[in-house]
Structure 1
Amino acid sequence: MSLFLCILLFFLHLNANAENNFCRMMGDPKYPLLSKDGDINIGAIFAVHSKETLPSFEFQQKPQLLSCSSVTLRDFRLAQIMIFAIEEINRNESLLPNVSIGYKIYDTCGSRLSSMSATMALLNGQEFAAGGKCYGQSPIHAIIGETESSATVILSRTTGPFKIPVISHSASCECLSNREDYPSFFRTIASDYHQGRALALLVKHVGWTWVGAVNSDNDYGNYGMAIFLNSAKKDGICVEYSVKFYRTESEKLQKVINTIKQGTAKVIVAFVSFIEMGLLIEQLSIHNITGLQIIGVEGWVASKNYITLNSFHVMKGSLGFALRKIYIEGFSDYVIKSFWDTAFPCSQQHEFLNMNMNSYQVELNCSRYQDLLVLRNYNEDVPEHRYSSHVYKAVYAVAYALHSIIKCEKQEVCEKALTIKPQQVVEALKKVNFTVKFGDNVWFDSTGAAVAQYEVVNWQQDSNGSFQFKSVGYYDASLPPDQRFVLNTKNIIWAGGQLEKPRSVCSESCPPGTRKAVQKGRPVCCYDCITCADGEISNETDSNNCQQCPGEYWSNTENTECVLKAVEFLSFTEVMGIVLVFFSLFGVGITLLVAILFYSKKDTPIVKANNSELSFLLLFSLTLCFLCSLTFIGRPTEWSCMLRHTAFGITFVLCISCVLGKTIVVLMAFKATLPGSNVMKWFGPAQQRLSVFAFTLIQVLICVLWLTISPPFPHKNMKLFKEKIILECSLGSTVGFWAVLGYIGLLALLCFILAFLARTLPDNFNEAKFITFSMLIFCAVWITFIPAYVSSPGKFTVAVEIFAILASSFGLLFCIFAPKCYIILFKPEQNTKQHLMGKTQNK
């Protein structure tokens, strides 16, 4: 603000002098580096030199002018192309005919102080009318420049109040797009808004997610880096560090170098100005920091100034966006001869040259041009110069704007006397639309910028050892979004001259079967790979989440795909199924052997005792009991589920009915031995058969009701185990199931009570004792069955049920028939009626 106030006071002073009708020069004027008068004059500001030597400010004598050194070849070429374009226009009979364009080119020496001084010189001029009267307006109609964005901001803010148009060839800072702050600013280069987004697009396209960021601490670097960081965040790119420095801050530069050395990112995005990049490359070479993939911007990435043997081993393989390389016909020859003969103010034959600047003579010491004279016969850099076309376009844009203002369209001669106001030039520049000789169409968008068109270049070294910037792609904002960016990775030489692109990630990719888990307090690109939980999968690399498998599916061992869950049921082929089948068939075999033995001894007293018909029926029912256990093994089906439960219920009731009949026979037989008893006629063989049939019929009716109302059915149980499906028989109606078991239990309890009452009856072979034991075992098995059945998981539920069937069946078989078989086989002498009744006879 203080600088702007000084400028304002200076102009107020000039206005006050103008009111007194005379002007006077205060101090030594700043003269242009190169100049030529014309009917219309264009100003320009370039940093032809990069170092400035300040005079003594002790105020003991008048301060001398600033001195500059160290030629910046790039900006010197820009001054040459500007003069080349102006001379070309002056020769053109269709563009501004009869009107000559002059120029005043000032050197800023890369200093903001000199830049401000040059700006004031352009605005004021050193020309006065007769009598010292001021002209009242700037002697120039437009200004070309500056090279850097920060300097252009100062230039545009200074010229803004006077509405003098500024056309920059390389100031790409997005901040200059604000038309409210910079209403008279134009540029033939695109805004960094596009370059910042293009950088993120390049990084994403190659597949890097972990980068470092370095930028110049000025408008160009700060605004450009902000755009890149914002775009990178949207594209999922993480920035390990973002550091910045300015050319005069050596301590900050060292901190930047230390940060790069300590960082893990192998890719560095350098949104750095031309001068800062030279300092950064120098430090990288000194510290021998190699193997980093540098991603650059148009400000430096295609500059041959940095290519030396010492720096190339650091920068080899660098990649970035550069302005398009355009050949301008005739310019290469011009910089060798025509420029030095016509535009340069000194010749090699004279040490001093007097220059006439309007109304006064100024003597210049040509020694200050000596460092430029060494470039007289050098033009090898011209083909690589990428800003020349932008200066060329800027000069032509001003010419076309002036052409429209002074009404040259339909006249061979333009109106020279027409007074041109700066605002007119600004408005005319907004409307220009023309095509230059090398084919580019020139026009300005609503922000005063040109269309973004970049070339992707790669730092490579030929087999003969020469360095080059090889084009490997492009970015063109004028094309549709899906066609704007093209990169040919096959032609790229990567960092350190490698053919394989470097990996730059915070964390290695998570393989399929895992998911990313962000590390606390770190960017999203830093993560741990967590294996998907059972039942979840991820079938792609770097998956953020695992997907749950649908109901009948489960994850494979690698958690990469969902496979059908294993279906589990008690199978005939597994060990447990084979064992149960063996015992079931073993029981059938034992029962058949007993039946055969009993049949062969059917006429013996021990077989005839207690109704041999019931014994054979009991053996038949036990055989069915053993066999019905087989229906519980195998894959459940609709028919097998109904069969297993009903067969179990009916066969066991038949079995218990037979045992109950035998128990009643024992009791009735005892009663029949009492004098005058006639009870056996009420429970003879017919009644025994009827009782067995009646008891069994009740169970049959219960089973029929169960099957009719809600029968058992096969069911896929997916709740018990997550990783497998238990194929089981659902009970359908639980009431029906427990009714079947309850009825069996009721008969067993009744049988146990009757047998218990008959256990003390006098007899050498009291069958009631053995029936009591058998019922005791039977009841014990089925009482323990209930909690075991409820708590057993999966196929073990079926196994428990089969075990209960087999255990109770073996209990009945051995307790009732084993003692008789023992007597038949080993004690035949006791198999007599006398022996069986001996105890009763003794008493």
Structure 2
Amino acid sequence: MPWIPKAYKLLTIDGINLKMIPLDPNNNSYSQITSSSPPCHTTCPNGYSRTMVVKCCYSCTECQANTFAHDSTCKPCGNGTWSSAGSTECKNKTSNYLAYSNAYGITFLTISIIGLILTILVIAVYIKHANTPIVKASGGFIFVCNMVGHICCFFSVLGFLGEPTGWRCLARETVFGISFAICLSSILARSFRILSAFFISTERPSPFQKHFSLCIILIGTLIQVTICVIWVTVDPPKIRRIDTQDTHDQTDIICRSNSPYWLIGVIGYLVLLALISCLCAVKSRSLPSNFNDASEIAFSMLAFLAVWMCTIHILATEKYSLTQTVSIVIAILVSSFSCLGFLFFYKCYIMVFKPEKNTSEWIKKSVFEYCQKISGIKNMSSVTDTSESPDNSSNIKNGIRQDKSIETSNSFIEQS
């Protein structure tokens, strides 16, 4: 029997010493135990921590969520694990990412494959009609760069699918940025090539005009490469596990840098290229339709700007989550299809189903009508053969301008 102070009495029930109860000094009876007195336990059930009140008497407290009971104490769960209240062990959290097998992954993979197939079909049509004016006017190397950029854009989607790894985090967002830089730089080079042919000179293109469009592609791509190299050197994207707000048993696995502004800078540069291309398209909107891609470029660039401006807003305002990754993949697919569709689908339709519009005679007719429009001649058949007419010199000048414009169109096709 342990020693008990004189003022206390050991309360024993069923042979178990529960608690030392103070005695009332007046009548030597037990003091009244109020309802606020902590319960007295010798052992605690699983999932509870045990705190000693007095010797041989303990208070039991249930372990909170994300903790577990071990050696009568509550300990926190480690990274990537969770537990409910009153648990004795932690469970692994369910990892969320764009897996190939889930609905998002299957959808994105299917759309990306469709985009690759359509790009290959466009290349096949252009190769089959390689000697036609539309293909020659496409710019040769400019067209090749555009197609390479589209293929890389669709392939870059695969980097966002599957569980993130170290090399995947470094590659996936830089690859799509460089791919779009190639694509948009080639579109900008195409716009400049058209403008230089019809506005800078009516003679055959100079060596500067021939090579400047290639310099646009090279410089435009190298600037993006430089931005990406600085990004992965200073603040490389790393694997991050973000607990979901709705449930405690799941975690999002994403790739992010410490600052979101690196990715915003990469996208912002692409937006700048798209904006300049759109302005060039507006400048060339009055040129002959056979050479003028103004409407196609304008629509594709407007779609590109709308999609990526929304994506920038999501990246700047949303916290790190899987939603940002999904929005980037959607933006890649939508902008890639818009550029491919607006720029090449109609031309492929002309080459396959309207071959009569893909001839030199049709090109010359189109340029002739364009020259009539800009010279103010509404009806060439109504022009009389009067050498004494005061307007005869003006008509002669218009005819010379038409001949020079036709010569420009022919040299524009041949420079490819």
Whether TM exceeds 0.5 here: the answer is yes
Relative to structure 1, the CA distance from residue 734 to residue 203 in structure 2 (aligned partners, 3 Å threshold; closer, same or farther) is: same
Is the Cα contact below 8 Å between 1:764 and 1:837 reproduced in 2? Answer: no
How far apart, CA to CA, are the structure 1 residues paired with 2:99 and 2:319? Answer: 17
How far apart, CA to CA, are the structure 2 residues paired with 1:670 and 1:608? Answer: 17
Say whether residues 1:205 and 2:9 are aligned partners: no
- Deviation (angstroms), 1:833: 2.3
- Deviation (angstroms), 1:533: 5.7
Is the Cα contact below 8 Å between 2:64 and 2:85 reproduced in 1? Answer: no
How far apart, CA to CA, are the structure 1 residues paired with 2:5 and 2:269? Answer: 91
Say whether residues 1:726 and 2:257 are aligned partners: no
After TM superposition, the structure 1 = structure 2 runs for residues 814-825 of structure 1, keeping only pairs within 5 Å, are 814-825=341-352
Say whether residues 1:574 and 2:102 are aligned partners: yes
Higher relative CO (Cα under 8 Å, sequence separation at least 6) belongs to 2
- Deviation (angstroms), 1:712: 1.6
How far apart, CA to CA, are the structure 1 residues paired with 2:233 and 2:282? Answer: 38
Say whether residues 1:836 and 2:327 are aligned partners: no
Is the partner of 1:727 in helix, strand or coil? Answer: strand
Is the Cα contact below 8 Å between 2:146 and 2:186 reproduced in 1? Answer: yes
- Deviation (angstroms), 1:510: 9.5
Matching residue within 621, 626, 639 for 2:154: 626
How far apart, CA to CA, are the structure 2 residues paired with 1:837 and 1:530? Answer: 91
- Deviation (angstroms), 1:743: 1.8
After TM superposition, the structure 1 = structure 2 runs for residues 510-525 of structure 1, keeping only pairs within 5 Å, are 512=46
How far apart, CA to CA, are the structure 2 residues paired with 1:757 and 1:763? Answer: 14
Is the Cα contact below 8 Å between 1:763 and 1:837 reproduced in 2? Answer: no
The one-letter code of the counterpart of 1:205 is I
Identical-pair percentage: 31
* Alignment match, 2:269: 743
- Deviation (angstroms), 1:576: 0.7
The one-letter code of the counterpart of 1:593 is L
Provide, for residues 333-357 of structure 1, a one-character-per-residue CA deviation record: whole Å limited to 9, x for no partner: xxxxxxxxxxxxxxxxxxxxxxxxx
Say whether residues 1:800 and 2:331 are aligned partners: no
Say whether residues 1:594 and 2:119 are aligned partners: no
Is the Cα contact below 8 Å between 1:631 and 1:640 reproduced in 2? Answer: yes
Relative to structure 1, the CA distance from residue 553 to residue 683 in structure 2 (aligned partners, 3 Å threshold; closer, same or farther) is: same
Is the Cα contact below 8 Å between 2:142 and 2:190 reproduced in 1? Answer: yes
Relative to structure 1, the CA distance from residue 512 to residue 694 in structure 2 (aligned partners, 3 Å threshold; closer, same or farther) is: same
After TM superposition, the structure 1 = structure 2 runs for residues 607-756 of structure 1, keeping only pairs within 5 Å, are 607-671=135-199, 674=202, 677=203, 679-684=205-210, 686-718=211-243, 722-732=248-258, 734-756=260-282
Is the partner of 2:16 in helix, strand or coil? Answer: helix
Is the Cα contact below 8 Å between 2:244 and 2:250 reproduced in 1? Answer: no
The one-letter code of the counterpart of 1:236 is C
Is the partner of 2:30 in helix, strand or coil? Answer: helix
How far apart, CA to CA, are the structure 1 residues paired with 2:49 and 2:125? Answer: 71
How far apart, CA to CA, are the structure 1 residues paired with 2:354 and 2:139? Answer: 21
- Deviation (angstroms), 1:558: 7.4
Is the Cα contact below 8 Å between 2:150 and 2:340 reproduced in 1? Answer: yes
The one-letter code of the counterpart of 1:601 is H
Question: Normalising by structure 1, what TM-score?
Answer: 0.38
Is the partner of 1:662 in helix, strand or coil? Answer: helix
Matching residue within 272, 289, 308 for 1:763: 289
- Deviation (angstroms), 1:841: 1.3
How far apart, CA to CA, are the structure 2 residues paired with 1:706 and 1:653? Answer: 16
Relative to structure 1, the CA distance from residue 673 to residue 763 in structure 2 (aligned partners, 3 Å threshold; closer, same or farther) is: farther
Relative to structure 1, the CA distance from residue 812 to residue 236 in structure 2 (aligned partners, 3 Å threshold; closer, same or farther) is: same
Is the Cα contact below 8 Å between 2:239 and 2:254 reproduced in 1? Answer: yes
Task: Structure 1: give runs of 5+ residues left out of the alignment.
Answer: 1-189, 238-508, 517-524
Is the partner of 2:95 in helix, strand or coil? Answer: strand
- Deviation (angstroms), 1:571: 1.6
* Alignment match, 1:253: none
Is the partner of 1:761 in helix, strand or coil? Answer: coil
Relative to structure 1, the CA distance from residue 234 to residue 704 in structure 2 (aligned partners, 3 Å threshold; closer, same or farther) is: closer
How far apart, CA to CA, are the structure 1 residues paired with 2:198 and 2:47? Answer: 78
Relative to structure 1, the CA distance from residue 612 to residue 565 in structure 2 (aligned partners, 3 Å threshold; closer, same or farther) is: same
- Deviation (angstroms), 1:738: 3.1
Relative to structure 1, the CA distance from residue 840 to residue 577 in structure 2 (aligned partners, 3 Å threshold; closer, same or farther) is: same
The one-letter code of the counterpart of 2:307 is V
Task: Structure 2: give runs of 5+ residues left out of the alignment.
Answer: 51-56, 373-416
Question: Normalising by structure 2, what TM-score?
Answer: 0.73
The one-letter code of the counterpart of 1:694 is I
Relative to structure 1, the CA distance from residue 714 to residue 193 in structure 2 (aligned partners, 3 Å threshold; closer, same or farther) is: same
How far apart, CA to CA, are the structure 2 residues paired with 1:730 and 1:769? Answer: 37
Say whether residues 1:236 and 2:40 are aligned partners: yes
Relative to structure 1, the CA distance from residue 670 to residue 737 in structure 2 (aligned partners, 3 Å threshold; closer, same or farther) is: same
How far apart, CA to CA, are the structure 2 residues paired with 1:193 and 1:696? Answer: 91
- Deviation (angstroms), 1:835: 1.9
Is the partner of 2:99 in helix, strand or coil? Answer: coil
- Deviation (angstroms), 1:732: 4.2
Is the Cα contact below 8 Å between 1:758 and 1:769 reproduced in 2? Answer: no
- Deviation (angstroms), 1:227: 7.9
Is the Cα contact below 8 Å between 1:773 and 1:815 reproduced in 2? Answer: yes
After TM superposition, the structure 1 = structure 2 runs for residues 115-264 of structure 1, keeping only pairs within 5 Å, are 196-197=9-10, 200-203=11-14, 205=16, 222-223=27-28, 225-226=29-30, 236=40
Is the partner of 1:726 in helix, strand or coil? Answer: strand
* Alignment match, 1:41: none
Relative to structure 1, the CA distance from residue 558 to residue 833 in structure 2 (aligned partners, 3 Å threshold; closer, same or farther) is: farther
Is the partner of 1:683 in helix, strand or coil? Answer: helix
More helix by share: 2
How far apart, CA to CA, are the structure 2 residues paired with 1:666 and 1:720? Answer: 53
Provide, for residues 125-146 of structure 1, a one-character-per-residue CA deviation record: whole Å limited to 9, x for no partner: xxxxxxxxxxxxxxxxxxxxxx
Provide, for residues 185-226 of structure 1, a one-character-per-residue CA deviation record: whole Å limited to 9, x for no partner: xxxxx99969942xx24447288x9xxx9x9x998xx42x32
Relative to structure 1, the CA distance from residue 795 to residue 719 in structure 2 (aligned partners, 3 Å threshold; closer, same or farther) is: closer
The one-letter code of the counterpart of 1:786 is I
- Deviation (angstroms), 1:514: 7.9
Relative to structure 1, the CA distance from residue 235 to residue 838 in structure 2 (aligned partners, 3 Å threshold; closer, same or farther) is: closer
The one-letter code of the counterpart of 1:829 is E
Q: Which has the larger radius of gyration?
A: 1
Say whether residues 1:535 and 2:66 are aligned partners: yes
How far apart, CA to CA, are the structure 2 residues paired with 1:670 and 1:808? Answer: 29
Is the Cα contact below 8 Å between 2:137 and 2:291 reproduced in 1? Answer: no
Is the partner of 2:241 in helix, strand or coil? Answer: strand
- Deviation (angstroms), 1:795: 1.5
Is the Cα contact below 8 Å between 1:204 and 1:235 reproduced in 2? Answer: no
Relative to structure 1, the CA distance from residue 560 to residue 669 in structure 2 (aligned partners, 3 Å threshold; closer, same or farther) is: same
How far apart, CA to CA, are the structure 2 residues paired with 1:193 and 1:733? Answer: 69
Is the partner of 2:255 in helix, strand or coil? Answer: strand
Matching residue within 772, 781, 784 for 2:298: 772
Is the Cα contact below 8 Å between 1:196 and 1:228 reproduced in 2? Answer: no
Is the Cα contact below 8 Å between 1:720 and 1:793 reproduced in 2? Answer: no
How far apart, CA to CA, are the structure 1 residues paired with 2:4 and 2:284? Answer: 112
Is the Cα contact below 8 Å between 1:656 and 1:744 reproduced in 2? Answer: yes
How far apart, CA to CA, are the structure 2 residues paired with 1:573 and 1:638? Answer: 21
Is the Cα contact below 8 Å between 1:666 and 1:768 reproduced in 2? Answer: no
Relative to structure 1, the CA distance from residue 807 to residue 192 in structure 2 (aligned partners, 3 Å threshold; closer, same or farther) is: closer
Is the partner of 1:729 in helix, strand or coil? Answer: strand
Is the Cα contact below 8 Å between 1:552 and 1:564 reproduced in 2? Answer: yes
Is the Cα contact below 8 Å between 2:278 and 2:297 reproduced in 1? Answer: yes
Is the Cα contact below 8 Å between 1:657 and 1:692 reproduced in 2? Answer: yes
How far apart, CA to CA, are the structure 2 residues paired with 1:662 and 1:798? Answer: 32
